[in-house]
Every structure is written in C-alpha cells, then in structure tokens.
Structure 1
Amino acid sequence: MRVLRGFIPALLLLGIAIVVRWIPDSLTQVMAGDTAEPPEAAGQVYELVPGSVYDGDTLRVTNGRGDLKIRLCGIDAPEIEQALGIAARDHLRSLLAQGNGSLLLVPVEQDRYGRTVAEIFVPLAGQAEEIHLNTQMVLDGYAYHYAQYSDACPNGRLLARAEEQAQAQQRGIWGDENAVPPWDYRQRHRTAVDEVLWSAR
C-alpha cells in the first residue's frame, strides 16, 4: 500500500483505476480470513468535506472539482434523534480522523435522494492498511446491517458477519434492549406526522 500511495498522483494523471486491497487487523479474526475488497473498477480518491458528517452513515466528499453526498452502502445508523444517534455520528468522525487525509471511494449507485451509495476505505496514517468504514461501523455496534439494501455492495457479505459479532458482544446498539432500528424509527415518525397532518384537515 505504501508503494501504491506514492504513485497515486501519477496514476490519477494517467487516468488509471486504482485497485486497493484491504487486510484489516481489526476484522481479521472475526471475519475468518475474509477481507473487504473494492471491485475491479476501483477506488476513487477523495477527501472529506470538513464538518459534513451528518450522522453515522452520511457524509460529503470532494475531489477538488466537485462534492458528492455519500450514503454508506449496506448499513443504517441510528438517526440523530435516536438513542446512540449522536454517538454513531461521532464514532464515524473518529474513524475518519484516523486516516491520512484521503478516502478511497467505491461508488455503487445513486439513491432516490441523489446521494452516491458507496463503500469507503480510510487509509490509516503511517500504516499500510485501511479501515473499511461500512463494515467497521457495523462491527463496532454503531450501525445495523441494512440487509434489504446490501446486495449491491461489493463487500456486502461481510456486513452480516460483522453484525453477528457486534450482537454477540453487545456492542453499541446491541447493548440497548430498547434500541429501535432506524428504518422502524423512520416509519413510525412518518406515520405520526401523517396522523397529525390528517387530523389537522
């Protein structure tokens, strides 16, 4: 990775795709040898837009020519108003802060809100490895595996296993018996708003 990092500017100028392989120390034991890998069409180098981590699964990135709003593929973190919502946002910020300043983005698709759904790898400062944000957020108990939407994620297979580990060790959301998955929270919130609007007619 150190050798590749030294050639990144030259590779970008030549328009050559960058392929990054990730062998995470923090996940090696729990994933039984599986590692998160970007697909053959590879990571694009971006930087975090300062102050843009809105919650535990959404942020903005820039490549100097334009910004993208990113939704992390295959995960769903508690909403800010929920228990652990702020903690999830802050945990994502702390993972990003461990990086060397660049982010490797693997775009998957666009969602209905115009966000780029993606996997993100954070090259660690001074080390030859990266954090796979999607998997790490689930493994640390600050996001759920969003199984309904993880099939398109290149490393979606790891998310269910990361969640099993987090649940077994009661990390984060799994340590709160009253935790409500964010998709259920959003549905209830929408229903409550609809009821208020209907009764006001």
Structure 2
Amino acid sequence: MMASASAHPVISVADGDTLTLAVDGRRLKIRLANIDAPERGQAYGRESRRSLVELCMHKEAQYRTQDIDQYGRTVAVVTCDGVDASRAQVERGMAWVLTHYNRDAALATLQQQARWRRMGLWADSNPQPPWEFRHGKDGSAQTLSPVSRLGEGDDICYTGPRGGRFRWVNGHKRYGC
C-alpha cells in the first residue's frame, strides 16, 4: 500500500465517491476505497456529491492507495483535513459499504447506525444500490433509449442517463459505439 507523503489540494468532486487531487502538477482522479455512492442521476446522487464537496473540496487531502480500478483510477483511503472521507460518507448515509472490497471494519457499524437513524439515502424505504442502478436492475434499463442499429446481429447502441453510449455484448456493457 502506497501512501502520499504530503497533503494535496482537492480540485474537483465528480460524485459522492470520486474526487481529483492536484499532485505534483498533475491531476489524480481517486475513487474512495470501501464504498459506493449513488450515481449523479440516481436518488441521493446530488446529495452524496454535495456531502463530499463539503468534506473535501478546496481542502488538503492525504491518500493511501489500495488498488487501481478497471477505469485506471486510483482507489484509496482519503482523509480531508484529517477526516476519513469514506467513513464520513457512510456515517452521513451518503454511500453504501462495498462488503466484498471493504478493508475497514468500522464501516459496517457506521452504515448500520446511519440506517437505524434513517440518515441520507436510508430515509428512503427501499434505497437502490448504485451497482443495481448502473446495471439497469429494478426497471432503470427501461429508461435507456436506443440511438442506432450497428448493422450486425442484434447489437443496439444505447444512450445512458448521463449521455454515455454503450451496447450489450455477451451480457456485458461495452462503451464507445
């Protein structure tokens, strides 16, 4: 596990679990470790992003790398002015704990407490996890609109809720059609 030697300014927040730091003159996009926050077009997505902005934007952050994800982002534990951003997001009810990837034993308890208190997304009687939202479960896939036929077979190019274009290939979403 690699740790940053010093603090770096947070220069942008994409959503409730992704932020960008200015590190040695370059931009470093970081996905917060151990959690998954609602997507921008999803219920509580804006609130989750606002929460992370309040926690980290224009503050000094330190990070401890855990992994590199499939999109090339650094997955890290981030502290903004000494506050663990992942823990704060879960405690506020602004993110789910990713149980299969979680390395922080305290997060499960924080999530349960937020749920009991009906904080943030837990105020909803049946909040939809972001991994279901992204993969079109619970009806969200019906909101996608096909934009063109690609010619061969049944491949259809779809436009997602945030404008990204993709198609389904062997049960997997492939971008860039």
Shared fold per TM-score greater than 0.5: yes
Aligned residue pairs: how many? 148
The alpha-carbon distance between structure 1 residues 117 and 173, as it changes in their structure 2 partners (threshold 3 A), is same
SS, match of residue 135 in structure 1: helix
1:66 aligns with 2:46: no
1:113 aligns with 2:97: no
CA distance in 2 between partners of 1:134 and 1:180 (Å): 19
Of 145, 150, 164, the match for 2:112: 164
Query: TM-score normalized by structure 2?
Result: 0.74
1:55 aligns with 2:7: no
SS, match of residue 122 in structure 2: helix
Runs ≥4 in structure 1, deviation > 3 angstroms?
A: 41-44, 189-201
CA distance in 1 between partners of 2:119 and 2:48 (Å): 12
Structure having the higher helix fraction is 1
Alignment of 1:33-182 (within 5 A): 42-44=3-5, 45-49=7-11, 52-97=12-57, 101-123=59-81, 130-150=82-102, 153=103, 156-182=104-130
Which structure has more RCO (C-alpha within 8 Å, separation ≥ 6)? 1
User: Post-superposition shift, 1:200?
Assistant: 5.2
* Unpaired stretches in structure 2, ≥5 consecutive residues: 158-177
Residue 131 (structure 2) aligns with:
183
SS, match of residue 148 in structure 1: coil
Q: Deviations over 1:28-57 (max 9, x none)?
A: xxxxxxxxxxx7x544422112xx211100
Residue 17 (structure 1) aligns with:
none
Structure having the higher strand fraction is 2
Identity of aligned residues (%): 32
Q: Could you say what the CA RMSD is over the residues aligned between the two structures, in angstroms?
A: 2.5
Could you tell me which amino acid in structure 1 is paired with residue 69 of structure 2? Answer: D
Q: Deviations over 1:56-83 (max 9, x none)?
A: 0011111233221100001011001011
Could you tell me which amino acid in structure 2 is paired with residue 69 of structure 1? Answer: K
User: Post-superposition shift, 1:199?
Assistant: 7.8
The alpha-carbon distance between structure 1 residues 194 and 79, as it changes in their structure 2 partners (threshold 3 A), is closer
Q: Deviations over 1:144-173 (max 9, x none)?
A: 1111222xx4xx212111101101111011
The alpha-carbon distance between structure 1 residues 194 and 171, as it changes in their structure 2 partners (threshold 3 A), is closer
Query: TM-score normalized by structure 1?
Result: 0.66
